[in-house]
Amino acid sequence: MTHQTGPTRLDPGVPSCRTPPIVSDHELLGVIGAGSYGEVWLDRTVMGTYRAVKILRRDRFSDARPYDREYAGIQN
């Protein structure tokens, strides 16, 4: 498995953060989508399975209510 020093933009129209978040047993390959609540990353697990991972960024919310609502929606 290779590790990148920074994110790859798989969609050039999508902004990416500077450093991929650390997710245990996963390699975040690049940003495939973004919105007001965070980014969606293409991920490869240690077993080689590809998945989409949504990363929420709490600092993008002015208060906890919309963050909690989005987080609850992801859990469901």
Would you say residue 65 lies in a domain? yes
Q: What is the pLDDT of residue 51?
A: 95
Would you say residue 17 lies in a domain? yes
The single-letter DSSP state of residue 21 is: P
What digits encode the pLDDT tens for the residues 33-65?
Answer: 888 778 899 999 999 999 999 888 887 778 888
> Which of 18 and 60 is assigned the larger pLDDT?
60
Tokens of 62: 């002015």
Please write down the long-range contacts of 7-10, taking CB distance under 8 Å and 24 or more positions apart: 7/31, 7/41, 10/42
Q: By residue range, what is the domain housing residue 19?
A: 8-75
Which stretch of DSSP H or E encloses residue 72? Answer: helix 64-75
Task: Tell me the average pLDDT of the chain.
Answer: 79
| CB 42, CB 32: distance < 8 Å | yes
Would you say residue 1 lies in a domain? no
Task: List beta partners, residue 14.
Answer: none
Q: What is the pLDDT of residue 2?
A: 45
> Which of 25 and 12 is assigned the larger pLDDT?
25
The CATH number of the domain where 17 resides is what?
A: 3.30.200.20
Would you say residue 16 lies in a domain? yes
